[in-house]
Structure 1
Amino acid sequence: MQYLPVCLQVRNSPVVLVGGGTVATRKARLLLRAGANLNVVAPQITPELQLLLAEHGGNWQQSRYRESDLHGRMLVVAATPDREVNKQVHADAMALNLPVNVVDSPDLCTFIFPSIVDRDPLLIAISSSGRSPVLARQLRRKIEAMVPAAYGRLASFAGRFRDRVKDAIPEETPRRLFWEQVMEGAVAEQVMGGREARAEELLETLLADTSGHHNGEVYLIGAGPGDPDLMTFKAVRLLQSADVVLYDRLVSAGILEMSRRDAERIYVGKRRDDHAVPQGEINQLLVDLAKAGKRVVRLKGGDPFIFGRGGEEIELLARHRVPFQVVPGITAASGAACYSGIPLTHRDHAQSVRFVTGHLKDGSSNLDWASFQSETETLVFYMGLVGLPIICEQLQAYGRRADTPMALIERATSSEQRVITGTLATMVDRVEREKPRAPTLIIVGSVVELHEQLSWFGKE
């Protein structure tokens, strides 16, 4: 280990920055954000640096560097384009036993600036010991994607209750286990969801009840249309915290593998006329598992609130006062359209879009077909494969032209995605020949004409 990682308190402390160019401005931005009392020594400085100093109360000493500029300082940074000036700053700082950083010159540094993931008060620093700053920045970007901004809120929350918990649980080991429970459970999720008052209630309940029996929480998560990369950061985080995962048949194996290895997985998928677990039983199972203290993920394809029956599931949770969160997912219409090169709206084709369930009850045409006649509106039918003949027939019967373009997208966003195009007059025959399998999505409207021009999925 070439450097000792430390976190240095510089708030209201005198720091000198030699240099006023673009690189110096970047360092000034960081030092001022940390609250340093900054003095910049340079004949000229950038307009941005002038604004930063004015905003944070820093000082610009418009002159060339002199050794006396370091007197009374606690930290020194040199960021000039002149190697000789930088070397002199380093030598003077060493003579005064001051920590010094010379930008892009590891040999002249007694400390270096890491790449920082800032979730104040939580900080994550990545350093390559000055060997490869670009690699450190790349790793920072990866970590930033894994650590939501709300973690800073969680760290602040824990800090406010640190003494309270210490008084309630004096012994170190039980106190550590308690905080682990808090950080991995419903309290943390309430904080990160912006519901700190509720989090405080839950924390006090945990402190008051030493039996360890507490309600869990339910996370209703939209898994998107299939591609694991379309999951949101929040969805992945909650999925990886779950004790139990209830999943649909539309959830891909890649997404399911994101859950914890030791999490219990319960299949509750449905096919036409074949419900593995009836909806009422699913609703009750969510309540029962949460009341047993489990963190439960209800993982649904697409978005829970678009033909996903998510509203029915959380109704029972709300009635039983079970904490829950709903995480939106990219709905199948959006995923299928984007991966097929079919924009759902387009200035020259469609100014609105309508989502319709194609799962017609008892095979009957119980939809308001007369309202589907606008040529400037895109129609998207979910679960419409079985009802395709009725859809094509009724749209034409109520006035849509027989040559209206339409597309059927099979297994959207996956490596097996297939797009079948045709018209209201030809699509039934095409589907009969191609024999696609669910899940499928149907798009009707002139936007389908753009498929060949704009599609990219699966092309090199």
Structure 2
Amino acid sequence: MTTHLPVMLNVAGQQVLIVGGGHVAWQKYNTLQYSGACIEVISPQLHPKMQALHEAGAFTWQQRAFTPTDVKGKLVIFAATDDAAVNAAIQQAAHPTQLVNRTDDASCSNFISTATVQRGDLVIAVSTNGANPGLARKIKQQLHEQFDESYEAYVTFLAEARLQVLAVTEKGAQRNVLLRQLLDDQILVWVQQGNMQACVDFVDKLIEGVRV
């Protein structure tokens, strides 16, 4: 079995194609909706959730069957129909340099999607290299519970605090020590308690120590 290379792909402003309009296509769209990609969906029908988003202008929809020229100019292509022959035709139409995911056959794809937990800027991806997607989903659920919604505010705060540290220190040992101190578990506890002032005071104290 091929071992895939884990990457985080920046598709902001890039052309992405989803062929299919059912539940699987919806799942693929759901992973893309905050990516900034220019998404085009080709399918005679749309999943109800996708229909609502299309009406809100979230993506373009070609209400028809796939044709080989549809792949032109697309960076990423999802072959997400329930017809293996159509998915194969999509794969064959694509250029080898295009990223193609066949949802019905990972072995024919040059990339696969991961099971992902996202809390703001925190993204945790899980993959079994296609060996058992069900296990990936199970682990995703465990991570979803472990890294709850408080992590979004936590990571946002850490990002801001890191910038403060970088602004008052030079590259070296002192900076590294302060950055490690920002990972004190107590900060997460305060965030979960909604006590953001305690977090701010903690960082202010660190910064004050540098200025003394």
Aligned to 1:373: none
Deviation at 1:96, TM superposition (A): 5.4
SS at match of 2:33: helix
The match for 1:19 is 20
Q: For residue 56 of structure 1, report the CA deviation from its aligned partner.
A: 5.0
Equivalent residue runs for 1:202-351 within 5 Å: 202-210=202-210
| Other-structure match for 2:167 | 167
Conserved 8 A contact 1:187-1:203: no
Which residue does the alignment assign to 1:142?
142
Secondary structure of 1:17's partner?
A: strand
Instruction: Give the CA deviation at 1:29.
Output: 1.9
Q: What is residue 83 of structure 1 aligned with on the other side?
A: 84
- Whichever structure has more helix as a proportion of its residues is 2
Cα 1:54–1:161 shift into 2, 3 Å:
farther
Alignment of 1:417-456 (within 5 A): none
Show structure 1 runs of 5+ residues with no match. Answer: 212-460
Aligned to 1:9: 10
Residue equivalent to 1:121? 121
Identify if the C-alpha distance between structure 1 residues 56 and 11 changes in structure 2 by more than 3 Å, giving closer, same or farther.
farther
User: In the superposition, relative to structure 1, how do residues 100 and 208 fare at CA in structure 2: closer, same or farther (>3 Å)?
Assistant: same
Q: In the TM superposition, what is the alpha-carbon distance from 1:149 to its structure 2 partner? A: 1.7
- Give the deviation of 1:68 after TM superposition: 1.7
Instruction: Please say if residues 17 and 76 of structure 2, whose CA atoms lie closer than 8 Å, have aligned partners that are also in contact.
Output: yes
**Residue number in structure 2 paired with 1:186:** 186
- Deviation of 1:162 after TM superposition, in Å, equals 2.7
Kindly state the Cα deviation for residue 4 of structure 1 after the two structures are TM-superposed.
0.8
Contact 1:15 1:75 in 2 (8 A): yes
Distance across 1 between alignment mates of 2:33 and 2:210: 45
Checking the alignment, whether the CA contact within 8 Å between 1:182 and 1:188 is kept in structure 2 is no
Counterpart in the other structure of 1:44: 45
Please say which of residues 78-87 and 182-191 is displaced more in the overlay.
Answer: 182-191
CA distance in 1, matches of 2:13, 2:55: 16
Deviation for aligned residue 1:83: 1.1
Deviation digits for residues 205-249 of structure 1, max 9, x if unmatched? Answer: 1121159xxxxxxxxxxxxxxxxxxxxxxxxxxxxxxxxxxxxxx
- The 3-state SS of whatever aligns with 1:117 is strand
Residues 1:99 and 2:118 are matched in the alignment: no
Name the amino acid aligned to 2:121: P
Matches within 5 A, 1:400-419: none
Unaligned runs of 5+ in 2: none
Shift in alpha-carbon separation, 1:176–1:188, aligned structure 2, 3 A: farther
What CA distance in whole angstroms lies between the structure 2 residues aligned with 1:66 and 1:96? 18
Instruction: Report Cα offsets for 1:413-456 as digits up to 9, x if no partner.
Output: xxxxxxxxxxxxxxxxxxxxxxxxxxxxxxxxxxxxxxxxxxxx
Q: Measure how far apart 1:65 and its partner are.
A: 0.9
1:347-426 equivalences under 5 Å are none
Report the Cα distance in structure 1 between the residues aligned to 2:34 and 2:166, rounded to whole angstroms. Answer: 31
Please tell me whether the aligned partners of residues 41 and 64 of structure 1 are also in contact (alpha carbons under 8 angstroms): yes
Report the secondary structure of 2:206's partner residue.
Answer: helix
Contact 2:69/2:93, CA 8 A, preserved across alignment: no
TM-superposed CA distance for 1:10, in Å, is 2.2
| Shift in Å, 1:67 | 2.0
Q: Give the aligned partner of residue 303 of structure 1.
A: none
Q: Return the TM-score normalized by structure 2.
A: 0.89
Cα distance change, pair 130–209 in 1 and its aligned pair in 2 (3 A): same
Q: Structure 1 residues 96, 110: closer, same or farther in 2, change over 3 A?
A: closer
Task: Give aligned-pair identity as a percent.
Answer: 28
Secondary structure of the 2:28 match is: helix
- Residues 270-289 of structure 1, C-alpha deviations (whole Å, 9 max, x = no match): xxxxxxxxxxxxxxxxxxxx
1:7-51 Cα offsets, whole Å, 9 max, x none, are: 112234321100111211221122113333211011222222211
The residue identity in structure 1 corresponding to 2:108 is: L
AA aligned opposite 1:41: I
Give the root-mean-square deviation of aligned CA atoms.
2.1
Shift of 1:5: 0.7
User: Which position in structure 1 is the counterpart of 2:154?
Assistant: 154
Structure 1 residue 170, shift from structure 2 partner? 1.9
User: In 2 relative to 1, CA 78–173 (structure 1 residues): closer, same or farther, beyond 3 Å?
Assistant: farther
